[in-house]
Structure 1
Amino acid sequence: MIISHLTRVGMVTLIALVLRQYYCHCQTGLEAQSFSSADCSLITMKSSCNCTYDVGYESAKIDCRSADERTDIRISIYEKSAVDITCRYTGASYVVIAEELLARLPRLGSIRKADFLDIHECMPFTAILARMALTQSEILHIDGLSKLTRLTAQSFGHNTSYLHSVVDLELSVQPAIAQAAQRLNADLFTVFPNLRTLKIDLNVTKLDAGIFTPLAATLNDFTFYGRLREFPSAALSPLRQLSMLFLMRHQFGDRLREDDLASLSLLEQLTLNSCNITKLPARIFASLPALRQLKLNRNELRVLPPSLFVAQMHLQSLDLGDNQLETLSRTLFHHATKLTSLALYHNRLTMLSAQMLPPLNALVGLRLDNNLLHTIAADSFADAKQLQFLELHNNRLNWSSAESCDLLAGMSSLMALGLQNNTLQHLCDQSIAPNYTTSKLYTLDLRYNKFTHLSASLLRTLNSSKLPKQLYLSHNPWMCDCGAQTFHNFVKSNRERMPDIMELRCADMQLAPLIELSYNDICLPDLGVNARFVLGLISLSALSLMLIITALCYYKYKLQLQVWLYAHQLCLCCISEAELDRERKYDAFISYAHQDEHFVEHELLPGLEQGTPAFKVCIHARDWLAGAFITEQIIDSVEDSRRTIIVLSESFIASHWARMEFRMAHQSALNEGRSRIILVIYGDLVNIELLDQELRAYLKMNTYLKWGEPWFWEKLRYAMPHPTRVWTRSARVRQADEIPLHDFPPSA
Structure 2
Amino acid sequence: MADQLDLLLGVIFVASPMLGMPPCSSDGQIALFRLCNLTQIPWVLHTTERLLLSFNYISMVNATSFPLLEQLMLLELGTQYTPMTIDREAFRNLPNLRILDLGQNKIKVLNPDAFQGLPHLLELRLFSCELSSVVLRDGYFRNLNSLARLDLSANQIYSLRLHSSFQELNSLKAIDFSFNEIFTLCEEELKPLEGKTLSFFGLKSTSLFSRVSVDWETCRNPFRGMWLETLDLSSNGWTVTITGNFSSIIWGSQVSSLFLTHHIMGSGFGFQNIKDPDQNTFAGLATSSVYVLDLSHGYIFSLNSYVFKTLKDLKLLNLAYNKINKIADNAFYGLDKLQVLNMSSNLLGELYNSNFYGLPRVGYIDLQKNHIGIIQYQTFRSLKELHTLDLRDNALKTINFIPSILTVFLSGNKLVRLPHIHFTANFIQLSENRLENLADLYFLLRVPQLQFLILNQNRLSSCEAIYTSSENLSLEQLFLAENMLQLPWENGLCWDIFKGLFHLQVLYLNSNFLHFLPPGIFSDLVSLRKLSLGANRLTTLSPDTLPANLEILDISRNQLFSPDPWLFASLSVLDITHNEFICQCELSPFITWLNQTNVTLLGSPANIYCMYPDSLLGTSIYSLSTKDCDEEEALQSLKFLLFILCTITLALLLISTIVAIKFRGSCFLCYKTIQKLMFKDKVWSLEPSAYRYDAYFCFSSKDFEWAQNALLKHLDVQYSSHNRLRLCFEERDFIPGENHISNIQAAVWGSRKTVCLVSRQFLKDGWCLEAFRYAHGRCLSDLKNVLIVVVVGSLSQYQLMKHETVKGFLQKQQYLRWPEDPQDIGWFLNKLSGHILKEEKEKKRSNTIQLQTLTTIS
Superposition TM-score tier, normalisation by shorter sequence: 0.5 to 0.7
Match of 1:655 in 2: none
User: Take 1:397 and 1:127, find their aligned partners in 2: how far apart are those partners?
Assistant: 64
Structure 1 or 2: more helix by fraction: 1
Change (3 A) 1:311 1:540: farther
SS of 2:350 mapped into structure 1:
coil
8 Å Cα contact 1:504/1:513 also seen in 2: no
8 Å Cα contact 2:498/2:524 also seen in 1: no
Does 2:261 align with 1:248? yes
Does 2:110 align with 1:97? yes
Match of 2:202 among 199, 207, 211: 199
Amino acid at match of 1:470: V
Does 2:474 align with 1:190? no
SS of 1:245 mapped into structure 2:
strand
Deviation at 1:374, TM superposition (A): 2.7
Answer with 248-257 or 123-132: which moved more.
Answer: 123-132
8 Å Cα contact 1:182/1:202 also seen in 2: no
Change (3 A) 1:263 1:391: farther
Match of 2:233 in 1: 224
Amino acid at match of 1:228: G
Match of 1:624 in 2: none
Report 1:617-632 matches (<5 A). Answer: none
Amino acid at match of 1:314: K
Cα deviation digits, residues 93-120 of structure 1 (max 9, x gap) = x755257xx56x6723xxx243334332
Amino acid at match of 2:808: L
Match of 2:453 in 1: 417
Does 2:340 align with 1:340? no
Report 1:492-507 matches (<5 A). Answer: 496-498=529-531, 500-505=532-537
Amino acid at match of 1:337: P
Does 2:796 align with 1:512? no
Report 1:264-303 matches (<5 A). Answer: 264-265=285-286, 266-303=289-326
Change (3 A) 1:170 1:305: same
User: Take 1:314 and 1:424, find their aligned partners in 2: how far apart are those partners?
Assistant: 42
SS of 2:529 mapped into structure 1:
helix
User: Take 1:235 and 1:335, find their aligned partners in 2: how far apart are those partners?
Assistant: 26
Cα deviation digits, residues 352-390 of structure 1 (max 9, x gap) = 56423244643332222222223222x634566774434
Number of aligned pairs?
Answer: 485
Change (3 A) 1:491 1:345: farther
Does 2:346 align with 1:319? no
Cα deviation digits, residues 613-666 of structure 1 (max 9, x gap) = xxxxxxxxxxxxxxxxxxxxxxxxxxxxxxxxxxxxxxxxxxxxxxxxxxxxxx
Change (3 A) 1:293 1:477: same
Does 2:401 align with 1:368? no
Change (3 A) 1:298 1:88: closer
Match of 2:429 among 391, 404, 424: 391
Deviation at 1:345, TM superposition (A): 1.4
Match of 2:244 in 1: 233
Change (3 A) 1:433 1:96: farther
Deviation at 1:286, TM superposition (A): 2.0
Listed as ranges, the gaps of 5+ residues in structure 1 are 1-30, 547-748
Cα deviation digits, residues 520-547 of structure 1 (max 9, x gap) = 798335455359989995996655669x
Deviation at 1:137, TM superposition (A): 2.4
Match of 2:74 in 1: 59
User: Take 2:833 and 2:349, find their aligned partners in 1: how far apart are those partners?
Assistant: 59
SS of 1:376 mapped into structure 2:
coil
User: Take 1:491 and 1:86, find their aligned partners in 2: how far apart are those partners?
Assistant: 63
Change (3 A) 1:65 1:226: closer
Deviation at 1:53, TM superposition (A): 6.8
Report 1:251-650 matches (<5 A). Answer: 251-254=264-267, 255=275, 256-265=277-286, 266-352=289-375, 354-359=377-382, 361-377=384-400, 380-382=402-404, 387-394=425-432, 396-398=433-435, 400-403=437-440, 412-425=448-461, 433-434=470-471, 436=472, 439-452=473-486, 460=496, 462=498, 464-478=500-514, 480=515, 484-487=518-521, 496-498=529-531, 500-505=532-537, 511-512=558-559, 523-526=807-810, 528-530=815-817, 542-543=840-841
Change (3 A) 1:286 1:277: same
Change (3 A) 1:307 1:131: closer
Change (3 A) 1:46 1:417: same
Match of 2:772 in 1: none
User: Take 1:454 and 1:49, find their aligned partners in 2: how far apart are those partners?
Assistant: 78
Amino acid at match of 1:501: L
SS of 1:144 mapped into structure 2:
coil
Deviation at 1:403, TM superposition (A): 5.0
8 Å Cα contact 1:323/1:346 also seen in 2: yes
Match of 2:152 among 142, 146, 169: 142
SS of 2:498 mapped into structure 1:
helix
Deviation at 1:299, TM superposition (A): 1.7
User: Take 1:323 and 1:431, find their aligned partners in 2: how far apart are those partners?
Assistant: 42
Cα deviation digits, residues 392-418 of structure 1 (max 9, x gap) = 333x34264455666776x64443333
RMSD of equivalent CA atoms: 5.3
8 Å Cα contact 1:49/1:62 also seen in 2: no
SS of 2:190 mapped into structure 1:
helix
User: Take 1:476 and 1:390, find their aligned partners in 2: how far apart are those partners?
Assistant: 21
User: Take 1:332 and 1:46, find their aligned partners in 2: how far apart are those partners?
Assistant: 64
SS of 2:328 mapped into structure 1:
coil
User: Take 1:40 and 1:316, find their aligned partners in 2: how far apart are those partners?
Assistant: 48
Q: How high is the sequence identity, in percent, across the aligned residues?
A: 15
Match of 1:151 among 141, 159, 164: 159
Match of 2:778 in 1: none
User: Take 1:400 and 1:245, find their aligned partners in 2: how far apart are those partners?
Assistant: 48
Answer with 333-342 or 271-280: which moved more.
Answer: 333-342
Change (3 A) 1:127 1:200: closer
Amino acid at match of 2:193: F
8 Å Cα contact 1:364/1:388 also seen in 2: no
Amino acid at match of 1:143: S
Match of 2:223 among 206, 210, 215: 215
Match of 2:631 in 1: none
Amino acid at match of 2:63: S
Change (3 A) 1:280 1:214: same
Report 1:73-84 matches (<5 A). Answer: 82-84=98-100
SS of 2:152 mapped into structure 1:
strand
Match of 2:709 in 1: none
TM-score under structure 2 normalisation? 0.47
SS of 1:49 mapped into structure 2:
coil
User: Take 1:523 and 1:79, find their aligned partners in 2: how far apart are those partners?
Assistant: 80
User: Take 1:278 and 1:415, find their aligned partners in 2: how far apart are those partners?
Assistant: 38
Change (3 A) 1:540 1:202: farther
SS of 2:326 mapped into structure 1:
coil
Deviation at 1:507, TM superposition (A): 13
8 Å Cα contact 1:248/1:274 also seen in 2: yes
Change (3 A) 1:503 1:510: closer
User: Take 1:327 and 1:314, find their aligned partners in 2: how far apart are those partners?
Assistant: 25
8 Å Cα contact 1:417/1:444 also seen in 2: yes
SS of 1:242 mapped into structure 2:
strand
TM-score under structure 1 normalisation? 0.53
8 Å Cα contact 1:432/1:467 also seen in 2: no
Deviation at 1:153, TM superposition (A): 1.4
Deviation at 1:328, TM superposition (A): 0.9
Deviation at 1:134, TM superposition (A): 2.0
User: Take 1:431 and 1:71, find their aligned partners in 2: how far apart are those partners?
Assistant: 81
User: Take 1:257 and 1:249, find their aligned partners in 2: how far apart are those partners?
Assistant: 18
Deviation at 1:262, TM superposition (A): 1.5
Deviation at 1:300, TM superposition (A): 1.8
Deviation at 1:49, TM superposition (A): 1.7
Deviation at 1:260, TM superposition (A): 0.9
SS of 1:71 mapped into structure 2:
strand
8 Å Cα contact 1:277/1:300 also seen in 2: yes
SS of 2:378 mapped into structure 1:
helix
SS of 2:177 mapped into structure 1:
strand
